[in-house]
Structure 1
Amino acid sequence: MITRRSMMAYTAAAAATVSVSGRAMAQIAAQPMRIVFPFTAGGSGDALARLLADQLRIGLDQPVIVDNRTGAAGRIGVQAVKTAAPDGKTLLLTPIAPVAVYQHVYSNLGYDPIKDLAPVSQVSTMDFALAVGTALPVKSVKELVAWCKANPAQANYGTPGAGTLPHFFMVLVGQAAGIELQHVGYKGSAGAITDLAGGQLPMVLSTTPDLMSLHKAGKIRVIATSGTARSPFLPDVPTFIESGYKIQGDTWYGMFAPAGTPAEMIKRFSDILVAALKTPELRDKLANLGLQPTGTSAEELRVILQRDSAAWAPAVAASGFKPEN
């Protein structure tokens, strides 16, 4: 029989349970959300991560931190997100390579970008740019191709490293132009660009943010960019397509969550990012980094990921690149 005393005890216990549960939920909500960026602090990608963290902090009304989880060319950071709980507390901001290209490069990647990650939004893009030294007597891609044919032993190009997208893109350039090019991989773009400006290297392929300031200062000469339209940061420079070569490609940053993250959370994150990337203030800040803001839905990023993964596979295969680990 349920007595008045037992009912009162039950009610008190239930109230206590609700109170504890409410406190626990509040504590979970107050826990900082993190954006894993799989490279070191200080570059344009890290700056982008911090700008987006601030927008999510405002939109979600909770702390958001950036976690620079570096190593293995970005793979360690992606793996950390793969194994994170799908509770909306972890996001990944990554450039294209770790999620759309590395599956064609590494035999033991440690994650499947399609199965292990949930797309949230593509947030920005940037073009590649081909630059030559000012001492080189060329001002266009066609003139560079002619120079390479006349000087095959000197037809060397620098990139930020072997197995990077600039390396693979220049494989496409060589194929389209019908020339043999020798790759010189550096540990980052800075060394390659320094040697280009100093006359030790005839050409470099890197991103537009890496090259545009020296081009505008007249210390190097950018002769082509890789987009379907001219870069807004280098409007005086034609694209490869305009130059007569049917090659195109770009690099981008995308936001992802661990697979299994609830769809309503994914949509909320995407909506906040898309709205923020339409504001003049944030667009101006990205422009200062040499980035072109986009802001897509989760489904649009899924399509981009699958499309670009298929598009880069032939260039990776043609490069013959084999990683050491």
Structure 2
Amino acid sequence: MSSLKKLLAAALCAETIIALCASGPAQAQEAWPARPIQMIVPSSPGSGTDALARVMAQRLSESLKQAVVVENRPGGSGVIGTNAVLKAAPDGYTILYTTASNMVVAPAVIKSVSPEARKSLVPIAQTAVGGVLLLVSPDLPVHDLPGLIALVKANPDKYSYGSWGTGSSAHLTMEWLKKQTGMKTEHVAYRTSSQLLTELSSGVLKIGWTDPSVAVPFLRSGKVRGIAIVGNVRSPQLADVKTMGEQGYKFNTVGWFGMFAPPGTSPAIVKRLADEVNKVQASPEIAALMKKLNFEPPPVKSSAQLGAIVQNDLQVWTKIANDAGIKIDE
């Protein structure tokens, strides 16, 4: 049994215990929520995270019969918004809507971001999953991952690859792939995925990683070519692009979105929130938005299972970062 499967099995047992605790005295649960709930999003308005958070907040407001208000607190690689939740009262009126990049990648690469602080946040629910996409310029004579690996190995240091930033999940994923295959290629950090895609489509850059949602128009117009996607299944919108696992390189984690509460939040409130999130996940509006942004419904439903994923992913990303010597002073 893999370490992640063991963690998930243990999480199910923990979830049962939490449920039993939550079924006890119900005074706190009955009184909550008595006022608006603040949903902190540590990214900018208009981002994919923000879009998902706002639809979730709207549906939760209807389900809980109480306003759930999104507050964007970008900056510091997610640190500013996350720290606000870490310091908030554990009363169920402040929650965090965030990404795997913030929760498990940033602590692996940024010296000032504490893994222990991230692990102290109380998991509520995973809300979506999605992998990063490996692309090449259309003038590169490869159409799959083995072909790309063979080309790069035959031409050491000839080709650079781009991602949306040093220490990003895309950067770390390629460093992992380099270690598995012996490829020699240098990383180029771009400020935005749009800039990366423009240079990739013009042939200035030959290899790049990006979020599938921003790459779809470039793929459909033939300006870039999809080589592989990180994830357990192919993307519905990019059905012709095989997963890395299908091509012989199974990666142990994928990108995800999730909700967390301040340390010390009561199990009763966490369970209520998790139950409501799982209910509103079935909303056609959320399903349509996830499809548009090229995300998928979450494979796990319980709070404890999300906690197990955080533990596993922190280990995976930390090992990759350490092996590649990637540490950022910020």
TM over 0.5: yes
Aligned-residue identity in percent: 35
Letter in 2 for 1:56: L
Displacement after TM superposition at 1:115 (Å): 4.7
Change in Cα spacing, 1:241 to 1:306, as seen in structure 2 (3 Å) is same
Q: Distance in 2 between matches of 1:153 and 1:234?
A: 30
Higher-Rg structure is 1
- Give the secondary-structure state (helix, strand or coil) at the position aligned to 1:324: coil
Contact 2:135–2:227 (CA<8 Å) still a contact in 1? yes
Q: Distance in 2 between matches of 1:290 and 1:211?
A: 10
More contact order relative to length (CA 8 Å, sep ≥ 6):
2
Displacement after TM superposition at 1:26 (Å): 9.5
Question: 2:326 pairs with 306, 321, 325, which one?
Answer: 321
Question: 2:314 pairs with 302, 305, 309, which one?
Answer: 309
Q: How does 1:41-120 map to 2 (within 5 A)?
A: 41-109=45-113, 112-113=116-117, 115-120=119-124
List alignment gaps of at least 5 residues for structure 2. 1-29
1:109-163 CA distance string (max 9 Å, x none): 2573455310000100001110001111111112212221233232210000001
Letter in 2 for 1:251: G
Question: 1:220 pairs with 220, 224, 232, which one?
Answer: 224
- Give the secondary-structure state (helix, strand or coil) at the position aligned to 2:228: strand
Question: 1:284 pairs with 276, 285, 288, which one?
Answer: 288
Change in Cα spacing, 1:203 to 1:119, as seen in structure 2 (3 Å) is same
Letter in 2 for 1:234: L
RMSD of aligned alpha carbons: 2.0
Q: How does 1:138-287 map to 2 (within 5 A)?
A: 138-287=142-291
Contact 1:36–1:68 (CA<8 Å) still a contact in 2? yes
List alignment gaps of at least 5 residues for structure 1. 1-24
Q: Distance in 2 between matches of 1:103 and 1:70?
A: 17
Letter in 2 for 1:46: D
Q: Distance in 1 between matches of 2:109 and 2:307?
A: 20
Q: Distance in 2 between matches of 1:101 and 1:37?
A: 17
2:304 counterpart of 1:299: yes
1:231-290 CA distance string (max 9 Å, x none): 222111111122222335310001000011111111111111101112333212221121
Contact 2:33–2:64 (CA<8 Å) still a contact in 1? no
Q: Which moved more, 1:248-257 or 1:46-55?
A: 248-257
Contact 2:123–2:304 (CA<8 Å) still a contact in 1? yes
- Paired positions, count: 300
Change in Cα spacing, 1:248 to 1:260, as seen in structure 2 (3 Å) is closer
